[in-house]
């Protein structure tokens, strides 16, 4: 296995389970733990791996925070495109993620707040006034079914609806 193949395989395993140990990764990939440990340290050092986190079922954890996806239309700048606005938005503590996307809107921003009103106030008073922001559309997340490839709900027995003529 080439170093690049090993790197991709290690990343794949860590994305599925960030708690997997270096020795287990090495076993699965038929490599030695020292090589895997060195590779992980290198990827952490060069920014390939930027962090680890737990995926949490908010309902079971009692997390009452409100999440919203906000589409942001931006007037691109001559030399920087969307970068200045995207970085400015990313500095707010309420912001979980910022993506440049295709379509009618330019940025997709995920934010959290304690209430619907708090998120709406964030959009109106902090996000919309940023120089270059032309329009926003806020979509509140009502229920999470799947995140990062993992189903949030326990598998429920599927029962076909009974329809009678």
Taking only the tens place, the pLDDT of each residue in 20-31 is 999 999 999 999
DSSP-assigned beta bridge partners for residue 72 = 107, 136
- CA proximity to 46, closest of 11, 84, 93, 95: 11
Sorted by sequence, the CB contacts under 8 Å of residue 105 that are 6+ apart come out as: 71, 72, 73, 135, 137
pTM of the predicted model, to two decimals?
Answer: 0.78
**Residue 42 pLDDT > 60:** yes
Q: Which two tokens stand for residue 111?
A: 């934010």
The pLDDT value given to residue 148: 83
pLDDT range class, residue 143, cuts 50, 70, 90: confident
Per residue in 59-103, pLDDT (tens digit) is 788 778 899 999 999 999 988 889 999 999 999 999 999 999 999
Q: Average pLDDT over the chain, rounded to whole? A: 91
pLDDT range class, residue 162, cuts 50, 70, 90: low
Q: 98 with 105: CB under 8 angstroms?
A: no
| Listed ranges 3-7, 71-75, 160-164; the one with the highest mean pLDDT | 71-75
Per residue in 114-130, pLDDT (tens digit) is 999 999 999 999 999 99
**Residue 50 pLDDT > 80:** yes
Q: How far apart are the first and last CA of the chain?
A: 61
**Residue 160 pLDDT > 70:** no
Percent of the chain with pLDDT over 70: 93
The pLDDT value given to residue 79: 86
Sorted by sequence, the CB contacts under 8 Å of residue 87 that are 6+ apart come out as: none
The pLDDT value given to residue 56: 81
Q: Which domains does the chain have, with CATH numbers?
A: 3-46 (1.10.10.10), 58-144 (3.30.70.920)
């Amino acid at each position: 296995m080439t170093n690049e193949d090993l790197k991709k395989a290690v990343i794949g395993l860590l994305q599925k389970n960030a708690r997997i140990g270096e020795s287990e990764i090495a076993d699965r990939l038929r490599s030695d733990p020292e090589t895997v440990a060195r590779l992980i340290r290198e990827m952490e050092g060069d920014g390939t791996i930027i962090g680890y986190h737990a995926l949490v079922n908010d309902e079971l954890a009692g997390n009452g925070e409100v999440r919203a996806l906000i589409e942001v239309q931006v007037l691109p700048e001559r030399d920087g495109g969307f970068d200045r606005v995207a970085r400015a938005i990313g500095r707010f503590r309420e912001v979980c993620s910022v993506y440049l996307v295709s379509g009618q809107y330019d940025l997709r921003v995920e934010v959290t707040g304690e209430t619907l009103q708090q998120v709406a106030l964030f959009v109106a008073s902090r996000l919309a006034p940023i120089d270059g922001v032309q329009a926003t559309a806020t979509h509140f997340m009502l229920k999470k079914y799947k995140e990062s490839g993992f189903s949030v709900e326990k598998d429920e027995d599927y029962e076909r609806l009974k329809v009678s003529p």
